[in-house]
Amino acid sequence: MALTHRGDSLVSRALVQTLQRANEITELLAYYQFQNGLQGTNKLHRLSKQLLRGVPLAFNHIDANQFAKYNRAAEVKLRDALFLAHPKAKDAQQQRAFDQIATRLAAHALHLGNGVVGVGAAALPGWLLAETGVPTQLGKAH
């Protein structure tokens, strides 16, 4: 699509509507890398302008809980996507989530919906615990 719709914003607008979870951003970038045969340290340096415009907009539709839940070790990490896209945070809470990803704190964060709570919560900063409601011990809410 990026090759067909050159010069308009269709691809970037479609990305915003399509990418609903944080892991979809990294999956899209990994697919683009694979399809274009990009390897090594420069594997994501030749992205289309439409992707470079759409991915930051998609970052703004994802909340901190999703960033914590889907920030996993993979070929393309959420941190790589963040540094590549340079999204502008829409508020202070989202900026803190971006900072977490950049400093790799989000890897320790836990999502209440995945059935694992309490493990590693002591490694989280206090403001994150307060915002997400992650319990510091099993059965005990912070």
- Same domain, residue pair 18 and 55: yes
DSSP-assigned beta bridge partners for residue 140: 137
Asked if residue 4 is part of any domain, the answer here is no
- Same domain, residue pair 47 and 82: yes
Do 67 and 102 meet the contact criterion of CB atoms below 8 Å apart? no
- Same domain, residue pair 113 and 57: no
Q: Find the mean pLDDT for residues 118-141.
A: 50
- Structural domain that includes position 140: 108-142
- Predicted confidence band of residue 132 (pLDDT cuts 50, 70, 90): low
- pLDDT of residue 14 exceeding 80, the answer is yes
How many domains are there within the chain?
2
- Nearest CA to 50 out of 2, 88, 92, 90 is that of 2
- Same domain, residue pair 97 and 40: yes
- Same domain, residue pair 89 and 112: no
- The Cα–Cα gap between 57 and 60 comes to 5
- Same domain, residue pair 72 and 16: yes
- Nearest CA to 61 out of 107, 106, 102, 12 is that of 12
- Same domain, residue pair 35 and 90: yes
Of residues 142 and 44, more confidence is placed in: 44
Which tens digit of pLDDT belongs to each residue from 27-79? 998 888 888 777 776 677 777 888 888 999 999 988 888 888 888 888 888 99
For residue 126, give the H/E element and its range. helix 126-132
Predicted confidence at residue 120, as pLDDT, reads: 47
Asked if residue 3 is part of any domain, the answer here is no
Asked if residue 98 is part of any domain, the answer here is yes
Asked if residue 5 is part of any domain, the answer here is no
Which tens digit of pLDDT belongs to each residue from 79-111? 988 998 899 999 999 899 899 888 876 544 444
Asked if residue 64 is part of any domain, the answer here is yes
Predicted confidence at residue 129, as pLDDT, reads: 53
- Same domain, residue pair 21 and 49: yes
- The Cα–Cα gap between 109 and 100 comes to 9
Predicted confidence at residue 37, as pLDDT, reads: 79
At CA 112, angle to CA 75 and CA 22, rounded to 5?
Answer: 30
- Same domain, residue pair 96 and 38: yes
Q: Which amino acid, 93?
A: Q
Q: Find the mean pLDDT for residues 4-24.
A: 80
- Same domain, residue pair 99 and 112: no
For residue 18, give the H/E element and its range. helix 10-18
Of residues 94 and 7, more confidence is placed in: 94
- Predicted confidence band of residue 118 (pLDDT cuts 50, 70, 90): very low
Asked if residue 60 is part of any domain, the answer here is yes
Half-sphere exposure of 71 (CA within 13 A, CB side): 28
- Nearest CA to 109 out of 87, 77, 133 is that of 133
